[in-house]
Structures are given as C-alpha cells and as structure tokens.
Chain A
Amino acid sequence: MIRTVHLSKVYGKGARALDDVSLQINRGEFVFVMGKSGAGKSTLFWVLSGQVRPTSGSVFVNDKSIARATSGVIARLRRQMGLVPQDLKLLERRTAYENVAFAMQVIERPECEIKERVREVLAMVGLAGREDAYPNQLSGGEQQRVAIARAIVNGPQIILADEPTGNLDSKTAEDILKILERLNRKGTTVLVATHNESLVESRNHRVVYLERGRVRIDTGGRPLWGDLQ
C-alpha cells in the first residue's frame, strides 16, 4: 500500500529531515509514527501526501510512484487519502458541516450525496447536532473530530493523522484514537504521528520510531514498546 525506498529529504542548506527511510506499510495496518519534535514525522507525512518532494529515494502509494508525480496525479492520490494536518486547517468562516462538505464539493460530488454523507460522517465522529457550529464555537476535541470527518468523508483508503491528539486531554485523545481505530477495523490503513507515549503504550499497534530523520525502531507489526524506553 505504502512503500518508501531510501527516502531522504533535505531542506534548504543541509537540514536533513528524513534520512534513508525505507518502510513498507500494508493495507489495513495501523501504524504509530513516533519521535520527538523535529524527528521528521510531519515531513514523512508531507512526502507521503505529495506536499513535499523528496530529495532522493522513492515513494509508492498503491504501487504508484509519487516522488516526481504531476499535480494531477497528486490530486487523484489525495482523493484516496484522508489528511488530518497538525494545525487542522479548518476554515473559520465555514460551519462544521460546510468544512466537511467542502471536501466533497471540490471533487464535484452531487449535492444530494454531500448532504447525506456529511451528516452521516459527522454523526460517526460524535458531532451530531453540532453541524452549524463554527470552528471557534467548538472545543479542541470537537475541532479535531471535524478534521477527521473531513478526512474520511470521501471514503479514503489511507488516513494520515499528524498529531491528532496534541493539546487534547487524555480522555478526548482516547476518544479520537478510538474513532481512528474504528475506521481501521473497517479496512482503512491509518498512520498516526504522535509523541504521546501513554496512548501508544496501551495499544498493540505497529510503531515506527524516527530520530533525526532516521528509522530507529520499526516494530513491524508487533507492539515492542519496551525497546523505545
């Protein structure tokens, strides 16, 4: 599903964000990408979603190379991916409903389908009744749910969630992860970047630990929490 081969990314004059990263993530996996700030988690997600071109190495998503892909190929790829950016990128002048609907409008889904699907997805993430609220009227956890709803509304095969639990209390963080796990159980491949060790500790998911752009540990499907200490 996702494969990176000797992937490296160097910003500007020598700031190496990713260094020879080779990973294989299979369909239906749930992977935590861990590491301290600046370890390269966000850069990895940006490369996987075509927001950043790698300096060297290859990236394949569904066997399609995206390292040098055109903007049209990247656009089609992103329709198969649900992105939850670290800063959420909710549109302040749009309601929760409109934020989610926007993801369907831009890929020209019919209006009737949008109405039905958006309400369904908002209910799925626990925001039924909050459709008309603007982002500034929502709590941090609710905003995170809107971002997740927007990411999943087009039924993606892959979800890339960059620090979806950052700045949330432990109960809300737990709820957010449960939503992502529920989607994973339905077959969606989920990658979650986090530095929240307690959340990872309590789960049996694969962990890829990045340090200064390199993969220090990859549990390869087994929870190997002890190695990270």
Chain B
Amino acid sequence: MKLSTFRYFGAQAWSGVRRNLSPTAALVILIALFTLGAFLGVIRNAESIGADLVQGFQVVAYLKPDASPVDLDGAARRIAGISGVVGTDVRTKQMELERLVHQFPAYKGVIASLPENPLVDAIVVDIDDPERAGVIASLIARIDAVDEVVYGTLAAERLASFARGLRTLSLAGTVFMVVVISLVVGSVVGLTIEYRAAEIEVASLVGATRWFIMWPFIIEGAILALMLWAVGASAVAALYLPVVRSFQNMMPFAAFADSWGDVYAVSLQLLAISFVSFETATLIALRRLITGMQKG
C-alpha cells in the first residue's frame, strides 16, 4: 500500500470519527464498555474463587476401628490409584488425637484420662473436580478397610452450580453488551457510510477494489474502538481494585483476583472484545451497503 493511499485512508477515517461520533453514541458505547468491563471482572473473580475452592476440596475416608497399619497403607495406596485423586494424606488415630489436644488444650486432661484412643485412622483425599466427589467417594467406600466416607455433598454441588451460574450469567451479560456495542457502533459507522455513499459508488464505478473502499471504515472502527476503550478501560482500572478489595475485606476467606495483573488482564480482554465487536459491526454495515449498491 502506498503512503499516499494510507494517508488518504487515515484522513477519511478520522474525518468520519469527528463527523459522526455524537456525544450520545459515545456515552452509550462508554457505558456498555464499562458494564462489559464489570462483567469481565466478575467472570475473572468467579473463576479465581472457584479455582481456589476446587483446589481445596477434600474427601475424608475413615477406616474401621480395628484396621491395622497394614490396612491403612493398603487403603491409602488403592485410594491414590483412583482416577481424579490428586493427593492423599494419611492421618493415624494417634495423629488425630494429638491434633485434638492441640486444638482444645483445655481438654488435654480429659483426653489423657481416656482408657483408649476413641478416634479412627483417616485418609484425607484431594480431588481435582468437586463434581466427581460422589463417584470417587463411592469407589473409596468399596475398599474393605474403609468404614465411612465423608465429603461435602451439598457444598460440592452448590459450589459447582454457583460457579457455573455466575460464569453463564456473566457470559450472557458479555454477549448482550457486545450486541449493544455492535449496534451503536454499526449506527455510527452507518452514518459515515451514508454520508459517503455517493463517493463509495463512484469509487466502485471507476474501478476501486472492495478493500480500497472498506479500509477507511475499518480504520474508523479501529480508531473508535481504541479511543472509547481507553476511556472505558481507565474507568474500569480505576475502580477494579478498590471494589474487589472491599469485597475481599467482607469475605477474607475467598480468593479474589485482586492484583494489578488482573486489572491488565481485564483491560486487555476488554480491548480485544472492543476491536472484534467494532470491526464486526463495521464489516456488517459495509456488506449491507455494498450488497445494496448492486442494481439488480
């Protein structure tokens, strides 16, 4: 592409932006971009919290009171071999008793006076997916030495369903915002197209290629995306950490995505979505024009 042609494209695109980007359209796009940024932030935090909860999800197998150390070792080995198990932690009844004494030092004397250790050996099992907790628990329960298997059935299901719901809701919101942005951008670029329809028709009649006609609009879409993203992303970046940290203070146990890396990631996602939706809207509007130019 020649420099003069590129200058021509740039000048056409910039004049289109200046002429057609009304304050109302800019405001609507900015609000949509900001809302989109908020949805992306929610998705990021939902995934962070979900990943953390999933990582910490455990199944506990309690062995029969008469299980020997050999039974314990054998059960631990068989459990480690089950698909979906990512780690096992053997806790003998002696270790459990010591932990009890450590947790409740006031009852140390009472515990010491017991004729024998009332606790049983246990194996704490880390799994990769809470949704598979039921299946893994039933496999563990089949092992002879195992007396009882405990896992947070309700918690697992609720956790999985909460994470799914939040992600689906945020994705639906993201799609909705992309549609809103595309419609508004489509109408802004549509104004330029309408303004330059005669010029486009003449250009086509004297032998301009389709790309020559389309480039100024594609650049206009990119300028719009970049300008409005810069404003929208700045607002998101300014508010992201304070908002996330206030939630973090309310729920200190939850693993929120509260680093600058997360702010950059959300901003970059917003940029990518802005570009894709702005350019898609532009290309759809252009396609409509070019098809409409065909006389019959």
Residues of B274-296 at the interface with A, using a CB-CB cut-off of 8 Å, are: 294-296
Chain B residue with Cβ nearest A78 = B207
Q: Mark B139-171, 1 if CB is under 8 A from A, else 0.
A: 000000000000000000000000000000000
Stretch in B197-205, B244-252, B261-269 touching the partner: B197-205
Which residues of A have CB within 8 Å of B2?
108, 110
CB of B285 to closest CB in A, whole Å: 17
Residues of A85-127 at the interface with B, using a CB-CB cut-off of 8 Å, are: 85, 89, 91-92, 102-103, 105-108, 110-111
Which residues of A have CB within 8 Å of B208?
75, 106-107
Which residues of A have CB within 8 Å of B209?
71-72, 75
Which residues of A have CB within 8 Å of B106?
none
Q: Does A52 contact B (CB under 8 A)?
A: yes
The answer on a CB contact under 8 Å between A83 and B206 is yes
Q: Which of B199, B204, B296 has the most CB of A within 10 A?
A: B296
Which residues of A have CB within 8 Å of B202?
89, 91, 102-103, 150
Q: Does A9 contact B (CB under 8 A)?
A: yes
Q: Does B108 contact A (CB under 8 A)?
A: no
Which residues of B have CB within 8 Å of A110?
2, 4
The answer on a CB contact under 8 Å between B295 and A51 is yes
Q: Does B57 contact A (CB under 8 A)?
A: no
Which residues of A have CB within 8 Å of B8?
105
Which residues of B have CB within 8 Å of A214?
none
Residues of B105-124 at the interface with A, using a CB-CB cut-off of 8 Å, are: none
The answer on a CB contact under 8 Å between A106 and B212 is yes
CA A80 to CA B215, docked complex, whole Å = 23
CB of B6 to closest CB in A, whole Å: 10
Q: Show the binding face of A for B, using Cβ within 8 Å.
A: 9, 11-12, 17, 43, 46, 49, 51-53, 71-72, 75-79, 81, 83, 85, 89, 91-92, 102-103, 105-108, 110-111, 150, 154
* 5 further A-B pairs in the complex, CB-CB below 8 A; given A79-B207, A107-B206: A52-B295, A52-B296, A75-B210, A77-B207, A107-B207
Q: Show the binding face of B for A, using Cβ within 8 Å.
A: 2, 4-5, 8, 198-199, 201-210, 212, 294-296
